[in-house]
Amino acid sequence: MTAPRRGRVINSIGVWVLSAVLLVWTLLPIYNIIRVSMQEKEEVLSTSVFPVAPSPHAFSVVFRQAFWLLETFWNQMGNSFFIGIIVALLTLTIGSLTSFTISRMRIRSGWMLTNAALLTYVIPMSFLAIPFYGIMGKYGLTNHPLAVIAVEVTFATPYAIFIFQQYSASIPFELDEAARSDGASPPQIFFRIYLPLMAPALVAIGTYALLLSWNEYLYAFLLLSGGKVVTVPVTLGKFLVGDEAPWNYLMAAAIIYALPPLLIYYGFRRKMSGGLTMGGVKG
């Protein structure tokens, strides 16, 4: 084999090995979750790679709410949904309006607003938990979903503004000028030109905001108490306290909990194609 050809072969073998390692690294935890959810309780801590007698028994228990810790599972799932969807919609609204104003209408010193918003991330979320609890206490909003919605919108919106601004830099400004010369007012430009072209960024940020509040544990258990308004992560946190350690029910509930954002993103994935403005501006 000639030297360059040998080098290419070694290169491609190396790429295959690296890809295999990364694939196993990424998929092994997911496989583990699925494997544990299909096992019976006694088998969970055994060393079998494949479940001996896989059964969807755990899933049916979660569905029927037949376990004492899962008694209000669907109610809490609805709470998670409610909070997640409202957080996503609010984040998209505030983020798109702000980025439109800053990047399209080009208000003076708009860059200061973006930079100031990004200062939100200087202090970690967990440090701000107790002051947030204090503020919500003063408003009387403890044990109300609105408190968690406020928290999540606060921490999702600056990133949304930043991403929208970066994305709208790729939409040529000549489109807005053309619309202006046709007599469009700013709201019309926003709804007819800006939002449709920003669809990929809207889908991405909407999914991000939904997932941020979907997985929220610290603020959910801090601001909400009582089984009627809490979200599913708080419920799942109670599983490993007692003497039972029902791993299979925990994994089954986790899988069921992970599905809705996946399905939502899957439903919107067609909007994720970019390059919609190619050919929109001549020259």
Partner 1 sequence: MKRISRRGVLGGVGAAVAAGTGLRPRSAKAAGELTVWWTQGFYKAENDAVIAWMADWEKRNNTKVNLTIMNGPDVITKLIAGMQVGDVPDVVHTVTGDRFLVPRAAWNDQLEDVSDVV
Interface residues with partner 1 (CB under 8 A) are 68, 129-130, 133-134, 137-138, 142, 221-222, 225-227, 234, 237-238, 241-244
- Residue type at 186 in one-letter notation: P
| Of 197 and 220, CB closest to partner 1 | 220
**77 torsion bin: left (phi>0), alpha (psi -120 to 50), beta (else):** alpha
Please, which residues have CB within 8 angstroms of residue 69's CB and are 6 or more apart in sequence?
Answer: 235, 238, 239, 246, 249
C-alpha to C-alpha distance for 87 and 218, rounded to whole angstroms:
16
Write down the least CB distance from residue 266 to partner 1, Å: 34
| Of 129 and 175, CB closest to partner 1 | 129
| Of 140 and 187, CB closest to partner 1 | 140
Write down the least CB distance from residue 250 to partner 1, Å: 14
| Of 142 and 188, CB closest to partner 1 | 142
Helix (DSSP H) and strand (DSSP E) numbers for the chain: 13, 0
Write down the least CB distance from residue 241 to partner 1, Å: 4
Query: Phi and psi of 147, rounded to 5°?
Result: -65, -45
| Of 189 and 222, CB closest to partner 1 | 222
Please, which residues have CB within 8 angstroms of residue 159's CB and are 6 or more apart in sequence?
Answer: 121, 205, 208
If we measure between CA atoms, which residue out of 172, 157, 277 comes closest to residue 205? 157
Write down the least CB distance from residue 253 to partner 1, Å: 16
Q: What is the number of other CB atoms lying within 10 angstroms of the CB of residue 86?
A: 19
Write down the least CB distance from residue 226 to partner 1, Å: 5
| Of 14 and 237, CB closest to partner 1 | 237
Q: Quick check: 208 and 155 in contact, CB under 8 A?
A: no
Write down the least CB distance from residue 142 to partner 1, Å: 6
Write down the least CB distance from residue 216 to partner 1, Å: 14
| Of 214 and 239, CB closest to partner 1 | 239
If we measure between CA atoms, which residue out of 221, 245, 246 comes closest to residue 232? 221
